[in-house]
Amino acid sequence: MITNIQGYSIHDGPGIRTVVFFKGCPLRCQWCANPENLSADKQIGYLKNLCHGCGRCMKACRYAAIMPGDGYRIARDKCVSCGECAEACYYGALVRYGEEKTAEETFEQVLKDKMFYDSSGGGVTASGGEPLLYADFVCELFRLCRNAAIDTCIETCGWAPREAVEKALHVTDHFYYDLKLMDPVLHRKYTGCDNERILGNARYLAEHGADILFRQPLIPGVNDTDDNIRRTAEFMLSLGPGASRIQLMPFHRAGKTKYDALEMTFIAEGLKPDTAERIEAVRERYIAYGVDCSISK
């Protein structure tokens, strides 16, 4: 189940890349910017500000799942996420999140951008959600990419079965690997899962020579503390010199529109992004510990 295949990305691996977003994630991070990728099922979202009240969606829906009036349009107890309302909407107010694709279909789409990969040292990135939940699909897609001399990258939270990581290792050029919190209790509090599997998989990849860039969503008051910075740096350095890079991803509220579209609560809405000075201070702390730290733009 794919939500988007996004071309010309410059933040999801080396060079210019096409990013394949998979639907479904084992974590429930309170600050998640992609709520449409949490569930593995198809979903319909409603963007109220784009609605013109034309009524075409009501006529198109065979399940009487479109409600009239100025409020939220979708009756979730009746909606089967078929997408017919979204197809009928002229204005993009109804959005279908999720479309079933085969690895071959996905490859044919990403192959169209090969000229950009070749000219920039880019390639294809599997993201999500959590792509390692679908390791067989990702490996099939990446084998096709490798046969076409296309670079491959996985963006992962690391919470996946070891067998999935082992499979992906052989066909993946780069791993962009999240390290959110080192304290297992706090990790479970803020993400819904502990971090034992995440840290174990990170160590496995490092021991097997994977190219890893660790990344950290920087959440004010949650993981930008001195204790978490120190413990994260110590863990990374314990993996050896090939695993001592981390990229900070400052918190933002850009996903709020999608929460509203899906009638979901954005738990972190009240958080304010860190100042540029605070973000730079965190970067300097990592560097002081001997970690190569950058900030995502």
Query: Whole domain around residue 21: which residue ranges?
Result: 2-39+100-295
**Whether residue 283 sits in one domain with residue 165:** yes
Q: Judge if 73 and 187 occupy the same domain.
A: no
| Model pLDDT for residues 188-207, shown as the tens digit of each residue | 999 999 999 999 999 999 99
Within 8 A by CB and 6+ apart from 118, the residues are none
Out of 63, 82, 97, a domain closes at 97
DSSP annotation of 66 reads: B
CATH number for 90:
3.30.70.20
Statement: residue 101 has pLDDT above 90: yes
Could you tell me if 222 and 259 lie in one domain? yes
pLDDT at 70 over 90: no
Domain count, the chain: 2
Same domain, 13 and 48: no
State the pLDDT at residue 69.
Answer: 86
276 has a pLDDT exceeding 90: yes
